[in-house]
Structure 1
Amino acid sequence: MAVDPGRIDQSLRKGVAPLYMLLGEEPLQTIEAADAIRAAAREQGFDERTVLDLSAQSDWSALDAAVRDRSLFASRTLVDLRLATGKPGREGGERLKAYAAAPEPDIVLLLQLPRPDRDMRRAAWFKAMESAAVVVHARPVPPERLDGWIRDRLTRHGLRITDEALQLLAARVEGNLLAARQEIEKLALAGVQGVDLETLAEATADAARFDLFGLSAAALRGETGRALRMLEGLLDEGQPEPLILWALARDARLLVQALERRAAGANDREAFQGSFGDQQKALRLAAGRLDVARARDILRLAARVDRVIKGQEQHGDARQGLLDLVARMAGRPLTVADPVLNPEGA
C-alpha cells in the first residue's frame, strides 16, 4: 500500500503496520515521515528501538539478531533499518526478501532507502518489500504546490502571510523544503503573527543578529572564536538556552548520521541527505576533521547539557556547557575545567 507523506499521520492513527518502506527522495519529507512512524510506534507500545546502518558489505546477521534478541521487558520493537546506498548485496537482498514474506508480529520494521532507480525497482528484494510494506515515497513538492505548502506550514505556527510576501518567500527558498522550514522557524521565533513584505524583511534582519543556525554553521566550519562570540551574544541578548541547544544538537545529530552513512559505504550525496546549502557545506568541513567517535561524543555532550538545563544534573553550568559544546563542534575544546563533561562524582 502506498501512502503520501502528507497523509502519513492519518494512516498511523489507524495503527502502525509491520513494515514500512520509506523512499527518501526529498530530505525534509523523508525526515518528517520517519519521525512520524517512530513516534506512532512508541505511542502504540513499541518501546524499544534498534537502529541498523547496513550496506552490501555489512554482516546482515545483525538484522536477524535485532529481530531475535529483544529485551524481555520490551518485546515490541521498532527496527530502524537504514540502507543509504540502496544496495543490500546478495545476502542482504535474500534476508529482506525472506523477512517481507513473514514479518514478525511484535516488530515494526522501518526500511529507509534513497530515491529508487531502475535497478533498485527491478530487484527481487525491493519487489517483495513493496508488496508487503506500506510504501511512503517522499517526493519533492511540485513548484505549483509550493505556495500552498508554505502557507500551510505558516498556519501550523499560527502565522498569516500576504500573497506578495508568500511569493517572495517561495522564490527565496527555490523549492528547497528544508530551507523553507528554516525560514518559517525564523519567522515563528520573531514573534510575529502576520507576515507581509515589511515583516519578512525585518525578520530577516533580526535573524542576522539572532542567528541560531549561523552559530551552528560557524562551529562546524571550525571558526572557534567567531562561534563562541556569537554564542555569548545570543546568551547576553536573552536567547533561551533550550533553543540554542536545539539548533546545535540538530546539526550535531546530522553530523553523526552523515559519518555513520559514510562508514556504511554511502557516497557523499547519500551521506549528507537531510542538509542543504551552507549547512551542508559546514557539515562536510566538520566531517573532514572529525570521526564518528568524536562526533558521537559531541552528541553525548549535547544530551548532558540538556539535562543540566532541565535541572536533571546536580552539578554543571548550562552556559559553560554550551560554550564547550560549540568549541568541541569547532574542533577546539576549551582548556578550562568543564563542569558538564566532568561533574563532581562522575
Structure 2
Amino acid sequence: MKISTRQLPGALRKGLSSLYVLYGPETLLALEAADRIRDAARADGYTEREVFFAEPGCDWNRLGASASNLSLFSTKRLFEIRIPTGKPGVEGAKALTAWAGKQIPDTMTMVMLPEIDWQQAKSVWFTALEGAGVGVEAKAVTREELPEWLAERLALGKQRGSAEVLEGLADRVEGNLLAAKQEVEKLALLLPEGEITLEAIGEAVTDVSRFERDALIDAIHAQDGARMARVLQSLEAEGEPLPLLLWQLCDELRTLMTVAAGQRPRRYLTPDRQARVAKTARRHDAASFARELLRAHRIDRMMKGVETGDPWGNMLEMALGLSGRPVLAKEAA
C-alpha cells in the first residue's frame, strides 16, 4: 500500500500497520510523518523504541539478531531502521527482504529512507517492504502547491490570507520548506489571529527562498516568466555554476526536441515529468528547440570568452523563450 504524507493522518486513525516505509525528497514532511507514526504507536501502547542505523559498512546480521531478540519481549516496541544513503547494498537488501517477510509479535517497524530513484523503487527489497506494509511518500511541495500548503499551516495558528497574500508569502519561502514552516510559526507569534496582510508579511517574514537548478526547469514548464527571472537571479547570486545550469537546460531541450519530433526520449521520465514535457513540447516544434540549442552553444562560447555577450542575460532570454514568450514563438505560416 502506498500513500502520501498528506494521507497519513487519516490512515493512522483507521488503524496501525506493522510496517511503515518513509521516503521522498521533502525532509520536513518525512520527519513530521515519522513523528506522527511514533505518536500513534505510543498511544497504542508501543512504549519501547529501538533504532538500527544502516550506515556504510554496518553489520546487517545485527538486524536478524534484533528480530530474534524482539520476539522474546512481551513489551510492544517500535523498531526503526534508518538508511541515510537509501542504498542498503547486497547484504542489506537481503536482510530487508527477509525482514519484510517476518511476523514479529508486538513489534512495529518504521524504515526511513531519503529520496529514492525509479530503480530503487522497483528493487526486490523495496517492493517487499512496501508490499508488506505501508509506503509513505514525502513528495516535494511544488510552487503551484505551496500557497495551499501555507494556508493549511496558517490555519493551525488561526490565521488566514487572501490568494495575493499567499502568493507573496510563497515567493519569500519557495524552495525552503523548513524555513517556510518557521516563518509561518513566527507569524503566529507576531501577528494576531485572523486575516493577515501583505504589508504585515513584508515586515515580519524574511526572504528565505532558495532555489535548486531544477526550479528553473519547473518554471519553464509552468510558463512563469517572473519566477524564471527570480530563480536565475537567485542562482547567480548564490554562485551556482553556470556551466552546470546550461548543461541541465540543454539536456531538457534535447528531450523536448525528441518528444516534439514524435520520438521516445532516450532517458526514463517519471509520469509527472512525462506529462510536463509533453505539454511543453506541444507548444513548439522540434526546429524551435533546435534553435535554442544553438543559442546554448553561443552561451557556452560567451562563458569561455570566445564570444562577447552576457551569458546570464542570454540564459534568461532562452528560459523566457521556452516558457512560450515571443522569443521562441512559432513563425506565422
TM-score, normalised to structure 1, is: 0.56
Tell me the CA shift for residue 39 of structure 1: 0.8
Matches for 1:156-305 after TM superposition, within 5 Å? 156-193=156-193, 194-204=195-205
Q: How many residues align?
A: 207
| Equivalent in the alignment of 1:2 | 2
User: Structure 2: which 5+ residue stretches go unaligned?
Assistant: 208-237, 239-333
Tell me the CA shift for residue 143 of structure 1: 2.1
Tell me the CA shift for residue 76 of structure 1: 0.9
Contact 1:48 1:74 in 2 (8 A): no
Task: Write the distance in 2 (CA, Å) between the matches of 1:66 and 1:16.
Answer: 22
Task: Write the distance in 2 (CA, Å) between the matches of 1:106 and 1:173.
Answer: 42
| Equivalent in the alignment of 1:64 | 64
Task: Write the distance in 1 (CA, Å) between the matches of 2:125 and 2:19.
Answer: 13
Tell me the CA shift for residue 182 of structure 1: 1.1
Larger Rg: 2
For residue 137 of structure 2, what is the amino acid of its counterpart?
A: H
| Equivalent in the alignment of 1:140 | 140
Tell me the CA shift for residue 94 of structure 1: 1.1
Task: Write the distance in 2 (CA, Å) between the matches of 1:73 and 1:127.
Answer: 28
Task: Write the distance in 2 (CA, Å) between the matches of 1:34 and 1:144.
Answer: 25
| Equivalent in the alignment of 2:44 | 44
| Equivalent in the alignment of 1:227 | none
Tell me the CA shift for residue 72 of structure 1: 7.5
Contact 2:77 2:108 in 1 (8 A): yes
For residue 20 of structure 1, what is the amino acid of its counterpart?
A: Y
Tell me the CA shift for residue 135 of structure 1: 0.4
Post-superposition Cα deviations, 1:219-267, rounded to whole Å, max 9, x if no partner, equal xxxxxxxxxxxxxxxxxxxxxxxxxxxxxxxxxxxxxxxxxxxxxxxxx
Q: Secondary structure at the match of 1:80?
A: strand
Contact 1:57 1:89 in 2 (8 A): no
1:23 aligned to 2:23? yes
Moved over 4 A (4+): 70-74
| Equivalent in the alignment of 1:128 | 128
- Cα distance change on mapping 1:73 and 1:57 into 2, 3 Å: closer
For residue 114 of structure 1, what is the amino acid of its counterpart?
A: P
| Equivalent in the alignment of 2:155 | 155
Contact 2:22 2:137 in 1 (8 A): yes
Contact 1:50 1:66 in 2 (8 A): no
Task: Write the distance in 2 (CA, Å) between the matches of 1:72 and 1:202.
Answer: 58
| Equivalent in the alignment of 1:79 | 79
Task: Write the distance in 2 (CA, Å) between the matches of 1:138 and 1:92.
Answer: 23
| Equivalent in the alignment of 1:115 | 115
Contact 2:71 2:104 in 1 (8 A): no
TM-score, normalised to structure 2, is: 0.58
- Cα distance change on mapping 1:20 and 1:166 into 2, 3 Å: same
Tell me the CA shift for residue 117 of structure 1: 1.4
- Cα distance change on mapping 1:71 and 1:190 into 2, 3 Å: farther
For residue 160 of structure 2, what is the amino acid of its counterpart?
A: R
Tell me the CA shift for residue 71 of structure 1: 9.8
For residue 5 of structure 1, what is the amino acid of its counterpart?
A: T
Tell me the CA shift for residue 68 of structure 1: 3.0
Contact 1:67 1:107 in 2 (8 A): no
| Equivalent in the alignment of 1:302 | none
| Equivalent in the alignment of 2:274 | none
Task: Write the distance in 1 (CA, Å) between the matches of 2:5 and 2:22.
Answer: 9
Task: Write the distance in 2 (CA, Å) between the matches of 1:201 and 1:115.
Answer: 34
